[in-house]
Amino acid sequence: MWDHLSFIIKQFRERLWIKPLIVCVLSIAAVFLANLMDMTQLGRFLPEITEESTETLLRIMASSMLMMATFAVASMVAAYSSASRSATPRSFPLIIADDVSQNALSVFIGAFIFSVVALVAMMNGLYVGRSSHFILFSLTIVVFAIVIVTFIRWVDNIARLGRLGHTITKVEAAAAEAIRKRQSAPRLGGVAAFGPPDAGRAVFGAIGYVQHVDIAALQARAVQSQLRIVVAALPGTFCTPDRPVAWVIRETTDSVSDEDAKAIADTFVIGDSRSFDQDPRFGLVVLSEIASRALSPAVNDPGTAIGVTGTLVRLFAMWNERGKEDDVYAVQFDRVAVPELSLADMFDDAFTGIARDGAGNVEVVVWLLKALGSLAVTGDATMRDNALRHARLAVVRAVKALEISEDITAVREAAKYAI
């Protein structure tokens, strides 16, 4: 349940209007809260605040905050566009979910709403006592302080938002979080699956990418209807009309009902694009795309490709930490079988594009071979085999792409330490 709730919260974080709406509601509530203070006896202990001083502050805020919000939106749109051009459009959800920018926009719009509503209330005689005037003045000062602090933080952040290095850091953090989640539950809490069952009903979903699988809901349905469920489509899988998302086996002689099949299909959240949440491979794909774009003739930035290669090594080293623990994982959902991620597929996602697009760049190839060589000696046999496989492919591609014999010699020398 918590895993599914976390997925929904992350989806809402990518909606730019959520935080501004919440702050606006709080601002309006604060304005009317000040009026309630007149019902208390606080006025006898509070200093008297003139209505003109509060009105002046509110007018200044009302006239400036809308302009600030407009400026913030324009800056954020420019940063989003820059991230899509310099990195990859797949990084856009991470950039738009930036907390500092969303908080800044929310504070600017919320301050504008607060000042306008407070001015209207003041002009219509809503505040008549000393308590309400003092509370409103205090709230205005607090809002001013929040706006100033938020603006300073936002200016520091907007200078980096949309920059390539910042985008790579965001993608790495998202991929690392997905890897940590999958490390703790490589089968998402289910039992091991070794391919489709010999018998059972295939369940199909909509056409699109699997973004999230609610394993707890699958377990509940399996217990209720006495089923065994084999997940056939992990998050990141592209579903088509002929590709099932799950196989269902009934423990009794009865067939699997349409109601059960629909309920099982509904536990698979399918969208038009992939999501970082349950899909560690997607982070590797996005990083590889950033490196490939940097290696394109239009950009010609091998340094970024080398930096991304180092990032990929960190992520695979993190993934390899799972192999140093006992290969025993808690089974929370004993009626749901889930396959583990293929390390070969993860290596293909990460390194194929870099090896292909960087084959003609000797420094990129040499660095890639060194990176693969370091992964080959991590102690995991599967990782070693895949690292050596990609190192051999990188050498073959480089020999065909490079024209200078000295460059080919440098690649072969680097290959001695990787293969």
The beta-carbon contacts of 253-259 under 8 Å, at least 24 apart in sequence, are 255/201, 256/200, 256/201, 256/225, 256/227, 257/225
Q: Read off the pLDDT of residues 123-179 as tens digits, 9 standing for 90 and up.
A: 777 776 677 778 888 888 888 898 899 888 888 777 777 688 888 999 999 999 999
> Could you tell me what percentage of the chain is helix, strand and coil, using 3-state DSSP and rounding each to the nearest 5?
65, 10, 25
Whether the predicted pLDDT of 250 surpasses 80? yes
Residue 43, pLDDT > 70, answer no
- In tens, the pLDDT along 79-108 reads 777 777 777 878 877 877 777 777 888 888
Q: Sorting pLDDT into bands at 50, 70 and 90, what band is 357?
A: very high
CB burial readout 274-308, b (16+ within 10 A) else e: bbbbbbbbbbbbbbbbbbbbbbeeeeebbebbbbb
Contact between residue 181 and residue 275 where contact means Cβ atoms under 8 Å apart: no
Q: What is the distance of C-alpha 143 from the center of its chain?
A: 31
Provide the pLDDT for residue 72: 79
Average pLDDT, the chain: 85
Report the pLDDT value the prediction gives residue 326, as an integer from 0 to 100.
46
pLDDT at 249 over 70: yes
Q: 192 - beta bridge partners?
A: 338
Q: What is the pLDDT of residue 15?
A: 66
For 371, the token pair is 């990176």
pLDDT computed for residue 229 by the predictor = 94
Percent of the chain at pLDDT exceeding 90: 44
Q: What is the pTM of this model?
A: 0.81
Binned at pLDDT 50, 70 and 90, residue 267 comes out as very high
